[in-house]
Amino acid sequence: MTHPSEEQLIAYRYGDVSETHERAAIERHLATCDGCRTSYQALQRVLAAVEAAPVPERDASYGSRVWQRIGPQLDQRERLDWRAWLVPRRWVAVGAMAALVFAAFLAGRFWPRPTQQESAGPIPVQVRERILLVAVGDHLDHAQMVLAELVNAGATETLTKGGVDISFEQQRAQDLVEANRLYRQTAARTGDSTLANVLDELERVLVEIAHSPAQLSSAQLNEIQQRIEARGILFKVRVIGSDVRQRGKSAGQIAPRGSS
Amino acid sequence: MDGSDAERVAQALAGDRDAFRVLVERHSRSIFLLAYRMTGNEHDAEEVVQETFLKAYRRLSRFESRSNFGTWLYRIGVNCALDLMRKRRPEAERRDSDTPEGSEAVRELPSPDPAPDRLLLSAELGRQVAKALGALSPTERAAFLLRHFEGQSIEEIGRALGLRTSATKNSVFRAVQKLRRALEPFVQVKPNVAASRAPSPNQ
């Protein structure tokens, strides 16, 4: 045979030359051609050097240490895993919660203010305030999960010939759009423009995700990921979510200031 | 630590957290090895190990019991490492021009009482290998490591990386070609120095 190409030699090295006769031909050639044999031996030495490159040792207890680090996070992630929210039973609870919050808004047209006076409604102001903030906080958590999933998608998602399947994310985004609209309108109505603005931006992204094809090519996925990152929406949701949680805590612990 | 991986997965899915702990303890070292070879530094490798198990836990219901858990986990690990590398690539490229990423690790490695000249050679070669691996694209690096160290087939690697067979073959080829260009000058057989440690071809 003629001298095998570098590509053929590499394939031969890894046993990727499937045809028996081709493999035999390369073997015979290497036995007789000094130049090709030298070249092949050099390739072998390079690969052996790569193989021999040192890697830091990890002892037998390493796995336990990894577990100690990730164990607590598993609990947290399990709680936050929005996929679990796709279970219908939970959606009933979500709907009920949203309705309760909405009712609280309509009844009191209330958004927490530190100087707000106790209302005469059936639900005490602090309790209503707290329910509301917890619900918005949860909503922001769920939205954050969807965005984070999408930003990290393509790595461990099932890659099919058609690309990346984001149907779960899409479904979840669709479900979040309605609740988001409710919270956004209420926040705008009660004058909380910071929250209303973030929710407005979030809604645009959620709508965009909900209207994307379920099966994305890597390029399409990349485009969505870049748009999410360019807007910094994940960061904004995180910050406002943390703020809302803090306000929720304060509402649950501190009596409204300035009440008379 | 009894029970197959598949049994442990089933138990973990049924809510047995301890079953997942066994899987973590069983596979952490091999994922670390993979992560270190992919990222070239311990800090990033640790991050990849953690992220791999966290993702695996959340996606456990997607694991098909007839598959090999180790292979499935590897796939997640490779992709976690790829994500991290892509995120840090501009930074890595800057570093690449002066200090190779792996040099720190090379210094930290325990050496089984080597002769001084061999130690020097190993350290230098280790640096060059780290540098050459660092110069590969993330996909080339992943394809090469899975082919060379894990012995995975081209088809398996293609599935793990979402590449067609031809693209996978090409990635492995380009990776080996680049490594060869970069490292061949350092592994040439020279009397009294390299000959003693240059491995003989095994095929």
* Mean predicted confidence (pLDDT) in A82-111: 49
Q: Name the fold adopted by B99-203.
A: Arc Repressor Mutant, subunit A (1.10.10)
Residues A126 and A165 in one domain: yes
- CA–CA separation, A167 and A146 (whole Å): 11
Q: Which of residues 145-174 of A touch B (CB under 8 A)?
A: 152, 154-156, 158-159, 164
Q: Which CATH number fits domain B1-96: 1.10.533.10, 1.20.1260.10, 1.10.1740.10, 3.40.50.300?
A: 1.10.1740.10
Q: Which domain holds residue A114?
A: 75-253
Q: Helices in B97-203 by DSSP H: which ranges?
A: 103-108, 116-134, 138-148, 154-161, 165-183
Q: Which residue has the higher pLDDT, B91 or A50?
A: A50
Q: Which residues pair with A160 in a beta bridge?
A: A163
Q: How confident is the model at residue B175 (pLDDT cuts 50, 70, 90)?
A: very high
d(CA A110, CA A249): 17
Higher pLDDT, B193 or A1: A1
pLDDT in tens, A176-188: 888 888 888 888 8
Buried/exposed code over B151-166 (b: 16+ C-beta within 10 A; e: otherwise)? ebbbebbbbbbbbeee
- Are A36 and A85 part of one and the same domain? no
- Distance (Å, whole) CA A203 – CA A185: 11
Comparing A170 with A98, the larger pLDDT belongs to: A170
| Lowest model confidence (mean pLDDT) among A100-114, A193-207, B95-109 | B95-109
Cβ atoms of residues A126 and A252 within 8 Å: yes
The span from the CA of A145 to the CA of A147, in Å, is 5
Task: Check residues A162 and A55 and name the one with the higher pLDDT.
Answer: A55
Would A232 be classed as within a structural domain?
A: yes
3-class SS of residue A160: strand
Q: Which residues of A touch B70 (CB under 8 A)?
A: none
Q: Do B148 and A47 touch (CB under 8 A)?
A: yes
Residues of A in contact with B201 (CB under 8 A): 40-41, 44-45
Q: Answer yes or no: do B83 and A62 touch at CB < 8 A.
A: no
Mean of pLDDT values over A116-125: 50
Q: Does A49 contact B129 at a Cβ distance shorter than 8 Å?
A: yes
pLDDT (0 to 100) of residue B121: 52
Q: How far is Cα A168 from Cα A146, in angstroms, rounded to an integer?
A: 9
pLDDT tens per residue, range A23-39:
889 989 999 999 999 99
Q: What is the band of B181 on the pLDDT scale with cuts at 50, 70, 90?
A: very high
CB contact under 8 A, A54 and B37: no
Tell whether the model's pLDDT for residue B101 goes beyond 50.
no
Say yes or no to pLDDT of A70 above 60: yes
Q: Which amino acid is at A136?
A: V
* CB-CB contact of B9 with B69 (8 Å): yes
- Most confidently predicted of B65-69, B138-142, B193-197: B138-142
| pLDDT band at A53; cut points 50, 70, 90 | confident
Angle at A246 between CA A244 and CA A249, to 5 degrees: 110
pLDDT at position A232 over 90: no
Residue A93 lies in a domain: yes
- Indicate whether A150 and A190 sit together in one domain: yes
pLDDT of residue A179: 82
Q: What is the ipTM of this complex?
A: 0.74
Q: Which of B130, B180, B199 sits opposite A48 (nearest CB)?
A: B199
For residue A86, pLDDT over 50 is answered with no
My answer on whether A12 and A43 are in the same domain is: yes
* Out of A7, A49, A71, closest to residue B187 by CB: A49
- Pairs of CB atoms within 8 A across A/B: 152
Residue A64, in any domain of the structure = no
* pLDDT in the model for residue A180: 86
User: Among partner residues A64, A69, A77, which is closest to B25 by beta-carbon distance?
Assistant: A64
**For chain B, which residues make up each domain, given as ranges?**
1-96, 99-203
Q: What is the mean pLDDT of residues A202-224?
A: 82
With an 8 Å Cβ cutoff, are B36 and A152 in contact?
no
Segment B90-99 shows an average pLDDT of 45
Which residues between 6 and 65 in chain B have a beta carbon less than 8 angstroms from any beta carbon of chain A?
A: 17, 20-21, 24-29, 32-33, 36-37, 42, 49-50, 53-55, 57-59, 62
High-pLDDT (> 90) share of chain B, %? 33
Higher-pLDDT residue of A216 and B191 is A216
Is A25 in CB contact (< 8 Å) with chain B?
no
Q: What's CA B198's distance to the chain center, in Å?
A: 23
pLDDT score, position B197: 46
Q: Mention every residue, 6+ apart, whose C-beta is less than 8 A from residue A78.
A: A84, B57, B58
More confident residue, B199 or A207: A207
Highest mean pLDDT among A123-127, B72-76, B106-110: B72-76
Q: State the nearest Cα–Cα gap between B166 and chain A, in angstroms.
A: 12
Structure-token pair, residue A50? 């790569």
Cβ distance of B173 and A7 shorter than 8 Å: yes
